[in-house]
Structure 1
Amino acid sequence: MVTDLEKRTLRKVSWRIVPFIMLLYFIAYIDRVNIGFASLTMKSDLGFSASILGFGAGIFFWGYFLFEVPSNIVLHKVGARMWIARVMVTWGIISACMAFVTGPTSFYIVRFLLGAAEAGFFPGIILYLSYWFPARHRAGVTAFFMAAAPISTAIGSPLSAALLEMNGVMGLHGWQWMFILEAIPALILGVVVFFYMTDKPEKAKWLKEDERNWLVGVMNQEAASRAGSAKHGILSGLANPRVLALSLIYFGTSAGLYTLGIWAPQIIKQLGVSSMTVGVLNAIPPVVSIVAMIFWSRHSDRTGERTWHVVLACVAAAIGLVIAAMPSSVVGLIAALTLVNIGISCAKPPLWTMPTMFLSGAAAATGIAAINSIGNLGGFAGPVMIGWIKDQTGSFSGGLYFVAGLLVMSAVLTLLLARSQKSPVTPGNATAH
């Protein structure tokens, strides 16, 4: 039974934390995928092929991969407030440097450094949420946080398209202005994080004493209930076979997410519409997916079921990619991309509730970071394969089929993981669903 104290405390914590971390992720995601819009003009200005563009967009995730686990270990030790502030200021500076790339080599270097700078942000926030929200509420909260990605696409698409129209202002290309201006919020928010964010409930002076005591007690009780079976050490988080399985599942969903973020503008552009129209059309699918993701995640929390909520969402996204690969009208393509957006957005929140059910402490920090860093290599594989296949065949179809196959792999692995576990990977249940 939910008490008035629980409702009051979680409402206050939610309003304090969730909108703010959504804003941070909103900025992070724009800086991560605005290369997709920049490429509409940057590609011809610098003479980039689709393969160069795909490789440069994807190499971001190798920087992410190499520095993700160390970054999350540091965050666990020094606290989210200090480390997230450092991450944001660093990535803001490097993101602005994208405006000054002159060829493939500088493009690859800056994208790699951007990934290294941003490493630790996303898994750090996932870990941070596990400090503040009981497991039964976590998928819904994670959904709101992750809604920032489709929201950033919905708002960032027309914004990025508009910034491209600044071509020639002060002698700079439109894509250069886009990188510079869209990097500024990360620098500002990095400073705000340092003064606004609270590391753990014990330090939350903005909670009343009874609220703080209740939350600390509940989170400590959850930690104690996992003490017998949860893994705590750094190596435990890296060596756990469920971490590897979840990493591969996340690989497929990441390939789908960054296929949309990086290539959707060009896929729409090939239908012969203007860059501004691309910005408007590209904003439609994520708007629909936000509503679907929140509904789906709340249903997952209410039922305590995770596995099928991931599986069905991955299958839906794969079907959408197959439809998008076929010759279509503007309406048909946007409908297909909407289905892809819904599937990928709905899969991620229930998926991210799983690691903290069998990992805690330093193992949670390393395990979550490992899942995110390995899984996000899908953000390299998807865009790179699409660019390479586009250069070889002149079409996006083969690459979209490839990414659809990765999402089917994610669905199958989720089922195999659930059936292979005797201990729970879902909250509130004795066995995995």
Structure 2
Amino acid sequence: MSSTLSQNIRAVPAEEQKALTSLLFRKLMPLLVLAYIISFLDRTNIALAKSQMVVDIGISAAAYGLGAGLFFLSYAALEIPSNLIMHRVGARLWITRIMVTWGLLSAGMAFVTGETSFYVMRLLLGAAEAGLFPGVMLYLTYWFGRKERARAIGLFLLGVCVANIISGPLAGALLEMDGVMGWRGWQWMFVLEGLPATFFALVVWKKLPDGPATAPWLTKAQAQQIQRQLDAEQAEQSGHAGHSFKAALADRQIWLAIFVYFCHQISIYTVIFFLPGIIGTYGKLTPLQIGLLNSVPWIAASIGAATLPKLAVTPQSCRKMLLGGLLLMAAGLVTAAVAGPVVALVGFSMTAFMFFVVQSVVFLFPASRLSGAALAGGLALVNTCGLIGGFIGPSVMGLIEQSTGRTTNGLLIIAVLLVVAALASTRLRQGQESS
């Protein structure tokens, strides 16, 4: 059967296949990227609000780090059930639900009054957004084969880059609304950045198809061709991982991918939540100036995400990209920890350059070994365990800042973790490759 499917694929003219792939990218990726931009603005804007919030509601550096990280506990706890639900009810309905609830809760952050309400709202926000990223990772498997999927993931992760590029100047400008109508600047920031998610959910509901079979802009023949391609690729993948979620749990390669991703997530969320504060120690800077400087590493991240993932077309090239990317991230953090302001910002940019290259490539390994419900649950499992790093990183960094007075001390510890992850990545295997 696999041979027959492969013959059907080869019969399609290259130009026709290229045009179909281009159509998928044009119709799907702008919508998904914009959703992720809005998501990341709402997830991470507390980093820019930190300086005002710690004074207004009286939270310590450790409490801030804990609150930043609590988002990822509820997010991680609900990711697997969220992805399994999306597998059953469809992407259109579930992603719309996610966006409505997270938008309302993000805006509700404007009303926190102390540590307890800060913790509760961060937990609720994580629960509301749970499943968006692994849901999109699953959704992309409905449309793209392995060779195009790394490129699609890289483009999707551009949303994080764009969000972090614009979040600094945008949040800086909103924070300067301090005093308007009696509200603090951070309150205006949460409301004006949170509500757009709810409104954009209506666009998702109207425009996002559940899969090729329901896409109004595809012909029946095009939808069938996409499915034949995906079926052929699935038939050629190794069957040793099985099709059950239990089988995914038993695959050591899945857990190796989880470890690499875990270390990666510690580094990325530490930078996201603490970079503005570190930049604030460089001199007497306004919120807008801090926001503008905070954007610099994310410009580097966008360049990496847009250019390198498309080169990950074989298992060997994927491993090389992970090894080089993780080592470069570690070198950047060491530079940022020991150098002066200008060189430190270069170091952060080195690390950020590979953030989403590594993230887009690492998901190719578990996706090549799973299918069906195991694919939905397995991708969510990787992201769930990885995001525990999103809790640990900020929490530990907050404690280090409070106990030593220097946030940068924690960067050296994270750099060591990245080196270990780089070595582990050389053992990752795809599909039929032997472990």
Q: Give the TM-score band, short-chain normalised.
A: over 0.9
Instruction: Say if 2:160 is the partner of 1:149.
Output: yes
Instruction: Look up the match of 1:370.
Output: 381
One-letter amino acid of the structure 1 residue matched with residue 32 of structure 2 = I
State how 1:127-138 maps to structure 2 within 5 Å: 127-138=138-149
Q: Find the aligned partners of 2:218 and 2:316 in 1 and give their Cα distance.
A: 28
3-state SS of paired residue (1:305): helix
Q: 1:91-106 maps to which residues of 2 (within 5 A)?
A: 91-106=102-117
Distance 1:303 1:364 in 2: 19
Compare 144-153 and 405-414 and name the one that shifted more.
405-414
Match of 1:78 among 89, 98, 113: 89
Select the residue among 413, 423, 430 that pairs with 1:425: 430
Alpha carbons 1:157, 1:279 under 8 Å: kept: yes
The answer as to whether partners of 2:238 and 2:369 remain within 8 angstroms in 1 is: no
Q: 1:277 aligns with which of 252, 275, 289?
A: 289
Q: Which runs of 5+ in 1 are unaligned?
A: 419-423
Cα displacement string for residues 154-204 of structure 1 (whole angstroms, at most 9, x for unaligned residues): 011100111000111111110011011101111012122112111111222
Change (3 A) 1:146 1:74: same
SS in 2 for 1:396: coil
Q: Give 4+ residue runs of structure 1 displaced > 4 Å after superposition.
A: 429-432
Residue range with higher mean Cα deviation, 78-87 or 406-415: 406-415
- Looking at structure 2, the residues matched to 18 and 239 of structure 1 have their Cα atoms a distance apart, in angstroms, of 33
Distance 1:354 1:19 in 2: 25
Render the CA deviation track for 1:279-330: whole Å, top value 9, x for unaligned. 111111111221222222122127862112112111111111111111403x
Q: CA deviation at 1:339?
A: 0.6
1:237 aligns with 2:242: no
Q: Over residues 226-283 of structure 1, what are the superposed CA-to-partner deviations in whole Å (9 max), with x where a residue is unaligned?
A: 3733421132233432222211111111111111211100000011222111111111
Q: Is the 8 A contact 2:333 2:348 kept in 1?
A: yes
Deviation at residue 404 of structure 1 after TM alignment: 1.5
Shift of 1:431: 5.6
Q: Which residue of 1 aligns with 2:326?
A: 314
- Give, in whole Å, the separation in 1 of the partners of 2:34 and 2:316: 28
Change (3 A) 1:89 1:238: farther
The residue correspondences of 1:257-272 to structure 2 (distance < 5 A) are: 257-272=268-283
Aligned equivalent of 2:3: none
Cα 1:227–1:389 change in 2 (3 A) is closer
Cα distance in 2 for partners of 1:48, 1:277 equals 24
Unaligned runs of 5+ in 2: 1-9
In 1, Cα distance between equivalents of 2:218 and 2:70:
42
Distance 1:311 1:304, change over 3 A: closer
Q: 1:377: Cα distance to partner? A: 0.9
The 1-side partners of 2:316 and 2:419 are apart by 23
Structure 2 residue aligned with 1:51, among 49, 52, 62?
A: 62
Instruction: List per-residue Cα deviations over 1:192-225 (Å, max 9, x = no partner).
Output: 2112111111222211233222112111222333
Corresponding residue number in structure 2 for 1:286 = 298
1:334 paired residue number: 345
Paired position in structure 1 for 2:307: 295
Q: Name the SS for the 2:302 alignment partner.
A: helix
**Does the aligned pair in 2 maintain the 1:237–1:362 contact within 8 Å?**
no
Alignment of 1:217-256 (within 5 A): 217-226=228-237, 228-256=239-267
2-side partners of 1:38 and 1:172: how far apart? 13
Q: Is 1:41 matched with 2:52?
A: yes
Q: Choose from 198, 201, 222 the match for 1:190.
A: 201
Distance, in Å, in 1 between the alignment partners of 2:165 and 2:224 is: 40
Separation in 1 of the partners of 2:418 and 2:95? 30
Q: 1:19: Cα distance to partner? A: 1.0
Q: Aligned partners of 2:386, 2:87: CA distance in 1, in Å?
A: 21
CA distance in 1, matches of 2:258, 2:250: 12
Q: CA deviation at 1:359?
A: 0.7
C-alpha distance in 1 between matches for 2:246 and 2:124: 26
Which deviates more from structure 2 when the two are superposed, residues 287-296 or residues 6-15?
287-296
Q: How much is the aligned-residue C-alpha RMSD, in angstroms?
A: 1.7
What's the counterpart of residue 393 of structure 1?
404
1:120-142 CA-to-partner distances (Å, cap 9, x unmatched) read 00000000001100111111111
User: What is the distance in 2 between the residues matched to 1:210 and 1:364?
Assistant: 26
Shift of 1:406: 2.2
The alignment covers a number of residue pairs equal to 423
The percent identity for this pair of structures is: 36
CA distance in 2, matches of 1:344, 1:159: 22
- Aligned residues of 1:300 and 1:309 also touching (Cα < 8 A): yes
Secondary structure, aligned partner of 1:318: helix
Question: Does the Cα contact within 8 Å between 1:317 and 1:343 map onto a contact in 2?
Answer: yes
- Distance in 2 between residues matched to 1:40 and 1:320, nearest whole Å: 25
Q: 1:421 aligns to what?
A: none
Q: Is the 8 A contact 1:40 1:275 kept in 2?
A: no
Q: Does structure 1 residue 164 correspond to structure 2 residue 138?
A: no
1:173 to 1:239, Cα distance in 2 relative to 1, 3 A: farther
Deviation string for 1:76-134 (max 9, x for gaps)? 11111111111111111111111111111111111011111111000000000011001
One-letter amino acid of the counterpart of residue 117, structure 1:
A
Distance in 1, matches of 2:221 and 2:308, equals 32
